[in-house]
């Protein structure tokens, strides 16, 4: 019977690791160290809240396994109330399991039964009351420009109409009200036609056509039971328009068409500016792309031809040549090649794949040619981009939920206040016109929109700035919550290090160092792993050194992911090739000039080979220094040791120090041996280093950290870190060709390395500060203006200007420079 690891609860392969002072048995040294350090915190208790929430969601909607997800762009969304209305309307369509609407992206995410309905039917169900639902065109500017052009046209028409009305007011109406013209001036037949015919006509056009999105938004918000600011705006504009139209029809001359038109024009202009800022803030995220596989060579009965990855279907046979990436997950049906799956397994040595073996999309065929049959869950790049765009732009953090609650309560309060104020003025003997005007002013001057904008615009600006810094934020709530992180856990390889190996030293106690390097390179030239690449690169550098100097420390660097080698003998310099090459699990061997040469891990020399004491001491010295010891031997005896190590990123110490200075606990989690992390362990700002942790156990480590220390952010590189990234409260991934880590992470670093990670934390701090500033302004503005309007000191026109200015101030505060400086 196989025992399970006490920490990660995975089966233990081989003999379990135990410790006299620690209860339990463990699958790896890393799990033992984590348990010894953090104790018996139950990770299930840490995630209880999340699991309960997921369970309740699962109970609410039963979705079949074959359900599909589609995205629709919806033109005409005016506010967050449209979300509830569209969700309710689309949700009534037969065959629809779940609908999520996002005002931020103006998109619908629909989960449906493909046998009962389709996206077109769902789109038709919501394409009424001015909404238009269509299949989105990701990455194309034409559709976005068309929609933006309609907003621009409506704004221009509203402003032109308002200017025409205001011009008539300035020339004729205001002078009469101020006594410059006699009271009879407006009653003269010619003047009456010039004033009271065009003004009502133009005002009707502006209020009901230009202002249609506002009126529709007010209607759907009331129908959805979530009254929004447009209820107040529409109420104020319609009250002023209705009263004025009554005056015209009954022969009166005191009209407030200017107020109605100004309210609609100013609010439309404000909405246009807000949309423009939002699109600019979010647009850079949509423009970001990954170094992903976009095309695949497909083999079928007609031959081989290239297709888009998005067109691949399960069972399609794709041809993967040497050095190319596997486009999608699948199974090898033909060929044999060493496949680099370090992104998934964390193992730097490529694994040989042959027919029947499964391969991961994004892994690299380092040699040979493969034919891969696409797996059952083929996912198109098109769908992945849609899902990513949705996640980036549609998240809702705690601050946004608070803002939505405030706005929902605020609107009914203001409606009641306006009625009470108007009634109070009437009771005090004020004329009906004055009481109505003051009531309209209260409606118009209130600004629940500033509460609604406080979070999303600030977060959108933060997401945009993060994108400028090379970080794609795939969960917008992370921009808010990242500032509250207590523990930052770093993966080592590819995160704190560059993921590149280099030879730092050659030790040959009883042999010429150059000879050791020459023999090692002869074998490793046919191998496929990062250490081999580094050894060959160092030997090539030595061979090209005309001066014949001894090998110097800090030689050439070989990329850990792939090294493009020229196979011609002319480029091999003085480094010979071996025959009878053979790869072992932790090394390689071959025959050179009739002599068998073995290169690899010291354990390879435990049987049938002699390991002299001088070489054993050199191995210990290399490992104590935190490097990888590669032993080289021939004639049945180990002759020397090559020290190779992953290159730490130049700014890893700066990053650790900056995050620790803000009071955060810094932890390093790695699958490498303890001897390879001494440099990080010795740093005073690194609190814990957990070495020897298998990729599948990293998630358990993160759960333990959450239980022991609080909120945890995990920073990792490849998809071998995906479970840990998903288990953390917040995950930050370095971009990879497969993008699998991106799906598990809340943010993905596409450029800038650790500098971008530091800046992401700075952006999060600034974003949270601005959200609080916006809330403070929104609260202060309404506390001041509502009593002022109720006392009659603000007329409706000034109220409209003040309301729009309040929202624009929130937008301006959120959009200003982040001032991160240079680091």
Specify whether the CB–CB gap between 820 and 759 falls below 8 A.
yes
Question: Which H or E run includes 618?
Answer: helix 613-624
User: Of 51, 7, 41, whose CA–CA distance to 25 is shortest?
Assistant: 7
SS3 360: coil
Q: Tell me how far CA of residue 573 lies from CA of 42, 364, 452, 542, 723, in angstroms.
A: 58, 27, 68, 9, 45
Phi–psi pair at 557, nearest 5 degrees? -105, 135
Tokens of 681: 């362990």
What residues pair up with 72 in beta bridges, in sequence order?
A: 108
3-state helix, strand, coil in the chain (%, to 5): 50, 20, 30
SS3 54: helix
DSSP 717: -
User: CA-to-CA distance for 453 and 807, rounded, in angstroms?
Assistant: 7
User: CA-to-CA distance for 731 and 495, rounded, in angstroms?
Assistant: 13
Tokens of 229: 């600011």
Q: Tell me how far CA of residue 487 lies from CA of 35, 82, 462, 656, in angstroms.
A: 17, 39, 22, 11
Specify whether the CB–CB gap between 136 and 107 falls below 8 A.
yes
Specify whether the CB–CB gap between 551 and 516 falls below 8 A.
no
In a 10 Å sphere around its CB, with 0-12 CB exposed, 13-18 middle and 19+ buried, how is residue 605 labelled?
buried
Q: Tell me how far CA of residue 48 lies from CA of 44, 85, 207, 724, in angstroms.
A: 6, 33, 52, 17
Question: Among 491, 672, 729, 746, which one carries the catalytic annotation?
Answer: 491
Kindly give, in sequence order, each residue whose CB lies less than 8 Å from that of residue 179, ignoring residues fewer than 6 positions away.
Answer: none
User: Of 649, 623, 612, 627, whose CA–CA distance to 535 is shortest?
Assistant: 627
SS3 750: coil
User: CA-to-CA distance for 761 and 240, rounded, in angstroms?
Assistant: 49
Buried (b) or exposed (e) across 652-690, using 16+ Cβ within 10 A? bbebbbbbbeeebbbbbbbbbebbbbebbeebeebbbbb
Specify whether the CB–CB gap between 479 and 767 falls below 8 A.
yes
DSSP 377: T
What is the β-pairing status of strands 587-592 and 487-491? unpaired
User: CA-to-CA distance for 196 and 202, rounded, in angstroms?
Assistant: 10
Helix axes 753-790, 456-468, angle to 10 degrees: 160
Kindly give, in sequence order, each residue whose CB lies less than 8 Å from that of residue 638, ignoring residues fewer than 6 positions away.
Answer: 605, 609, 610, 611, 612, 615, 631, 632
Specify whether the CB–CB gap between 789 and 432 falls below 8 A.
no
Specify whether the CB–CB gap between 42 and 707 falls below 8 A.
yes
User: CA-to-CA distance for 158 and 211, rounded, in angstroms?
Assistant: 8
Question: What is the secondary structure of 454-489 as a DSSP string?
Answer: HTHHHHHHHHHHHHHTTEEES-THHHHHGGG--EEE
Question: Which H or E run includes 119?
Answer: helix 119-126
Q: Is 113 a catalytic residue?
A: no
What is the β-pairing status of strands 665-669 and 688-690? parallel
Active-site residue set: 491
């Amino acid at each position: 019977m196989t025992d399970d690891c006490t920490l990660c609860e995975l089966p233990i392969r081989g003999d379990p690791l135990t410790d006299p002072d620690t209860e339990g048995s463990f699958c790896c040294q890393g799990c033992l160290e984590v348990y010894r350090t953090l104790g018996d915190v139950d990770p299930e208790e840490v995630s209880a809240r999340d699991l309960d929430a997921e369970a309740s969601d699962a109970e609410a909607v039963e979705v079949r396994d074959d359900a599909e997800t589609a995205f629709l762009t919806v033109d005409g969304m005016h506010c967050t109330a449209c979300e509830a209305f569209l969700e309710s309307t689309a949700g009534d369509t037969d065959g629809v399991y779940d609908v999520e609407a996002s005002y931020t992206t103006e998109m619908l995410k629909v989960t449906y039964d493909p046998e009962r309905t389709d996206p077109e039917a769902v789109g038709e169900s919501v394409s009424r009351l001015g909404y238009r639902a269509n299949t989105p065109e990701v990455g194309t500017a034409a559709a976005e420009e068309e929609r933006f052009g309609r907003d621009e046209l409506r704004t221009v028409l509203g402003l032109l109409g308002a200017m025409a009305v205001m011009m008539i007011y300035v020339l004729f109406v205001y002078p009469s009200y101020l006594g410059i013209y006699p009271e009879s001036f407006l009653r003269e037949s010619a003047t009456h036609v010039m004033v009271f015919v065009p003004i009502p006509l133009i005002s009707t056009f502006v209020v009901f056509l230009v202002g249609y999105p506002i009126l529709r938004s007010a209607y759907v918000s009331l129908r959805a039971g979530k009254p929004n600011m447009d209820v107040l705006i529409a109420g104020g504009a319609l009250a002023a328009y209705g009263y004025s139209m009554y005056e015209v029809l009954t022969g009166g001359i005191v009209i407030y068409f200017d107020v109605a038109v100004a309210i609609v024009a100013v609010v439309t202009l404000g909405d246009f500016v807000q949309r423009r800022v939002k699109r600019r803030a979010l647009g850079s995220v949509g423009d970001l792309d990954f170094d992903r596989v976009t095309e695949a060579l497909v083999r079928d009965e007609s031959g081989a031809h290239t297709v888009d990855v998005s067109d691949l279907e399960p069972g399609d046979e794709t041809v993967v040549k040497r050095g190319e990436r596997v486009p999608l997950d699948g199974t090898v049906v033909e060929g044999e090649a060493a496949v680099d799956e370090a992104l998934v397994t964390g193992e730097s040595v490529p694994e040989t794949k042959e027919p029947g073996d499964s391969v991961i999309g994004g892994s690299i065929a380092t040699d040979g040619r493969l034919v891969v049959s696409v797996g059952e869950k083929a996912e198109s790049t098109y769908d992945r981009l849609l899902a990513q765009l949705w996640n980036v732009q549609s998240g809702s953090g705690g601050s946004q939920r608070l803002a939505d609650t405030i706005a929902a309560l605020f609107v009914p309060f203001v409606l009641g206040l306006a009625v009470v104020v108007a009634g109070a003025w009437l009771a005090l003997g004020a004329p009906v016109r004055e009481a109505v005007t003051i009531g309209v002013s209260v409606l118009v001057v209130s600004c629940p929109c500033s509460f609604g904008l406080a979070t999303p615009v600030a977060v959108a600006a933060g997401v945009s700035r993060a994108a400028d810094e090379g970080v794609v934020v795939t969960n917008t709530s992370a921009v808010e919550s990242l500032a509250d992180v207590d523990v930052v856990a770093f993966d080592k390889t590819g995160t704190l290090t560059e993921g590149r190996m280099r030879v730092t030293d050659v030790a040959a106690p009883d042999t010429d160092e150059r000879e050791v390097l020459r023999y090692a390179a002869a074998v490793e030239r046919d191998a496929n792993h990062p250490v081999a690449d580094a050894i060959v690169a160092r030997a090539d550098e030595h061979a090209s050194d005309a001066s014949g100097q001894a090998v110097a420390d800090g030689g050439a660097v070989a990329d850990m992911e792939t090294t493009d080698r020229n196979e011609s003998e002319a480029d091999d310099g003085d480094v010979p090739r071996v025959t009878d090459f053979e790869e072992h699990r932790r090394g390689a061997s071959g025959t050179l000039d009739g002599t068998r040469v073995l290169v690899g891990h010291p354990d390879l020399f435990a049987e049938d080979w002699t390991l002299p004491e001088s070489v054993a001491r050199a191995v210990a010295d290399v490992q104590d220094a935190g490097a990888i010891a590669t032993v080289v031997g021939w004639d049945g005896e180990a002759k020397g040791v090559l020290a190779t190590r992953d290159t730490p990123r130049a700014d890893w110490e700066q990053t650790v120090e900056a995050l620790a200075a803000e009071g955060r606990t810094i932890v390093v989690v790695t699958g490498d041996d303890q001897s390879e992390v001494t440099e990080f362990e010795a740093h005073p700002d690194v609190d814990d280093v957990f070495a020897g942790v298998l990729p599948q156990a990293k998630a358990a480590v993160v759960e333990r950290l959450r239980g022991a220390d609080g909120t945890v952010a995990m920073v990792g590189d490849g998809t071998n870190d995906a479970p840990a990234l998903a288990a953390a409260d917040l995950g930050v991934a370095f971009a990879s060709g497969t993008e699998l880590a991106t799906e598990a992470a809340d943010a993905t670093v596409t450029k800038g390395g650790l500098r971008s990670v530091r800046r992401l934390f700075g952006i999060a701090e600034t974003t949270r500060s601005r959200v609080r500033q916006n809330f403070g302004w929104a609260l202060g503005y309404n506390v001041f203006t509502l009593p002022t309007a109720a006392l009659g000191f603000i007329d409706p026109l000034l109220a409209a200007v003040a309301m729009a200015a309040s929202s624009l101030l929130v937008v301006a505060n959120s959009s200003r420079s982040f001032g991160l400086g240079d680091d």
